[in-house]
Amino acid sequence: MATGYDQWVEVATKQMKGKSPDDITWQSPEGIAVKPLYTEEDLKGLESLSAFPGMAPYTRGPMATMYAGRPWTIRQYAGFSTAKASNEFYRKNLAAGQKGLSVAFSLSTHRGYDSDNPRVSGDIGKAGVAIDSIEDMKILFDGIPLDKMSVSMTMNGAVIPILAMWIAAAEESGVKQEQLNGTIQNDILKEYLTRNTYIYPPEPSMRIISDIMAFSSQNMPKYNTISISGYHIMEAGADSVLQTAFTLADGIEYVRAAIASGMDVDTFAPRLSFFFGIGMNFFMDIAMLRAARYLWYKQMQQFNPKNPKSTMLRTHCQTSGWSLTEQDPYNNVIRTTIEAMSAVLGGTQSLHTNSFDEAVCLPTEFSARIARNTQIIIQEESQVCKVADPLGGSYYIEWLTNEIVKGAEKIMDEIEDLGGMAKAIASGMPKLRIEESAARRQARIDQGKDVIVGVNKYRLKDEKLDFEVLEVPDSVRLEQIERIKETKANRDEAKCQACLEAITKAAGGKENLLAAAIDAAKARATVGEISDAMEKVFGRFVATTQCVSGAYSSEYSEASADSAQVIDALRKRTDDFLAKTGRRPRILVTKMGQDGHDRGIKVVASSYADLGFDVDISPMFQTPDEAAKMAIENDVHIVGASSLAAGHKALVPELIEKLKAQGAGEIMVVAGGVIPPSDYDYLYDAGCKGIYGPGTPITESAGKVLDMLEEKYCK
């Protein structure tokens, strides 16, 4: 290193009373060793990533002037309750400065079920707006000019009926297909990795994506046919290198599928977009976005594109939902602001900022206004929009960008060796890597190695909530059911059935599925009916559930002797339970309803297994009746029910009742996840024995579960 650096080391060593700067090198979750100082020497020998914004390889941004020419789009993701309630919410936000719409759909809709299906009785309108037919879609966008407004829709499993209904609703309002502008997520591969709102197996799902790309390239020139999402990969536990590698590998798989279907790369690649999740590692995620742009440019060269836009990565970003805490929730306003600044300094094209109350409940109008205004204040008051890529040239940022490039390329090479992302997913490699990362992260938090203010450090003595909690009533489901009945009663039934038969024929042949579904949507077929018409040919996908082992305990035990003692003490208790009762404490961890987020149950299941429990983990999307039967068949002592999507008041009490009805009332039930504290007494009165909200250390919940089991079985 240069003499100046040596002098700095000498000064720093004196100021740290003899400690070398090397002693405070930080090991990031990505495995990157971060020093306390970077100089121009650290950039020597690195590949030149980019000279200017707007120029290949676009590391410094896809546009030459970036926000100095035009700020990012404020695109708040929202949807809840009924189409009418969501429409009112959208119109208020647009009037208050929001620039584009981003629609969140009900979990029932994601999974291709109508609101009258008994499997989704606890899900309707809880985590998004329920859409059952074109009539709901017309209400959702009433008074919103679809020829002028950019609309993003987060939909993957039921993408064919939802996109068809949006197109048909626009046409019935006088807007032509070629006028439509926006993005459909349409990213099914990450559903098999993390989010799990799939319907069909991978092969027909990839065919659906190709059909949408083909239809849109011919009829909707301004429409983005896919948003390749790393957000849910991050939320499931991936670090920034894993998020980059798996997201871009998904994108390459889609490009290959489109080319294999006969499309020229330049007809669809310019309309591909990406979606990254931004967490609390501020500089790491700035570097991640820069690295992703560079890598996408480099990866796309293999397809010989002629249009420069085919190699240009454009992205939406969203602040992390997982980083939000139930404890001391106003801290989440600060977290979201930091994450938003990271996305902005990384060069995002649009942004959603989460509401501070989302670790407790659905966002209220009050919390959503703060989230939206966070972006407006950054745009209007911080002056960060005045310069394109203000962090470009930072020694640390440029070095960190290169480290992410190297780490992500290594993983992408592994994926190529497996035959591409689809085959890698089938092998289980990406999912296990993500789950191991999540388990290690949880262990670091539980030990206090990764500080979460208000959770494992600076915790308040009195944690009473002092804000409104939004609850979606069951009347929403009843209202949707009535509208389905009305729609079916007023349609031309013979015409509708003919359209549904045409979809089934298209699924078994080569006709375009989206074109056939648009006809069905206009004939008032429902989301469930269109989904079922394809399911007759494609079938419905059921994933194999598995967990990593050893990640939680090894991360915990490697930290210190005290940490190892915590693990050893819990293992001794499970061993003692075995000695006294003849079997280990056995728990079924289940996720009921249609919410596909499985980070929580996977972390709990793998961690409890590391602590000496016998752990059964249920398939996704169980009904309370199915969960009760599995608990009885597996002869468990206790069921841990995970809740994330506001269905806890319906699903947990029903599970308890189903256990009693089947003569297994002795099986205890505990709950965890996003449950407002105001609902705790309701669940306790229903027979729930314990509730462990977000931020509860695994070791703490395991200890309390053992207390209950020892009290019941070891006295």
Q: Which amino acids are annotated catalytic? A: 77, 231-232, 591, 595, 597
Measuring CA to CA, which residue among 244, 301, 299, 302 is closest to residue 275?
A: 244
- Give Cβ neighbours of residue 259 (< 8 Å, ≥ 6 apart): 265, 303
Distance of CA 403 to the CA centre of its chain: 25
CA dihedral 677, 333, 90, 675 (to 10 degrees): -20
Residue 539 corresponds to which tokens in the numbers above? 């079938």
Measuring CA to CA, which residue among 657, 551, 649, 560 is closest to residue 604?
A: 551
* CA distances, 218 to each of 122, 211, 458, 509 (Å): 40, 11, 57, 20
To the nearest 10 degrees (0 to 180), the angle between helices 202-219 and 240-260 is 70
Specify the residue for token string 């099914």.
188
Element (DSSP H or E) covering residue 26: strand 26-27
Specify the residue for token string 């310019």.
270
DSSP string, 77-107: EE--S-HHHHHHHHHHHHHTT--SEEEPBPH
* CA distances, 223 to each of 159, 227, 527, 652, 694 (Å): 14, 11, 22, 42, 38
- DSSP-derived letter for residue 191 is I
Residue 318 corresponds to which tokens in the numbers above? 């969203």
> What's at 331, amino acid-wise?
N
What strand order describes the sheet that includes 638-643?
614-617, 586-591, 638-643, 668-673, 690-692
DSSP string, 518-541: HHHHHTT--HHHHHHHHHHHH---
| E-assigned strand segments in 269-330 | 272-278, 315-319
- Which letter, b or e, does each residue of 611-627 get, where b requires 16 or more Cβ atoms within 10 Å of its Cβ? bbbbbbbbebbbbbbbb
DSSP string, 108-149: HHHTT--TT-GGGTTTTTTSSB---SHHHHHHHTTT--TTT-
